[in-house]
Amino acid sequence: MTERTFVMVKPDGVSRRLIGECIRRFEQRGLKLVGMKMLTLSRQQAERHYAEHEGQPYYEGLIAFIVSGPSVQMVWEGEDAIAQVRKMNGATNSLNAEVGTIRGDFALSGRRNIVHASDSPETAAREIALYFKDEELLHYAMPDEDWLR
């Protein structure tokens, strides 16, 4: 099933110059980039993004980290994009992430784990809407799409 998912390269991924590496991996997998921007999130944006974690002991640290520098927001499209991206990212805690995943290869901790991705279609829709207007997301064909389905 073709679907869209939200991905964010977090401030540690940006500061470690890993934006291109993340994009390369998603493109090589056959996913299609349909939206991208770079922002330094405000506290208000961060609170909306992580609303489901409010009240947790790690919440303030999570907010402080995500607003600490620029991040890259992207929307990727493809067959089972949500599950594919989650698998490619690896376990949230980098100590548990498999070698060959983005987090397994580059992350240094649970919070500073390079990249965020939506975990369900509902979350993807909510997160995409936080950062992108419908008209900012592209609809286009790639020459290899028939091979990837």
Return the closest-CA partner of residue 75 out of 12, 136, 14: 136
The residues that are catalytic are 116
Tell me the C-alpha distance between 33 and 40, whole Å. Answer: 21
Residue 5 and residue 107: Cα distance in Å, rounded? 21
Nearest to 48 by CA among 113, 112, 123: 123
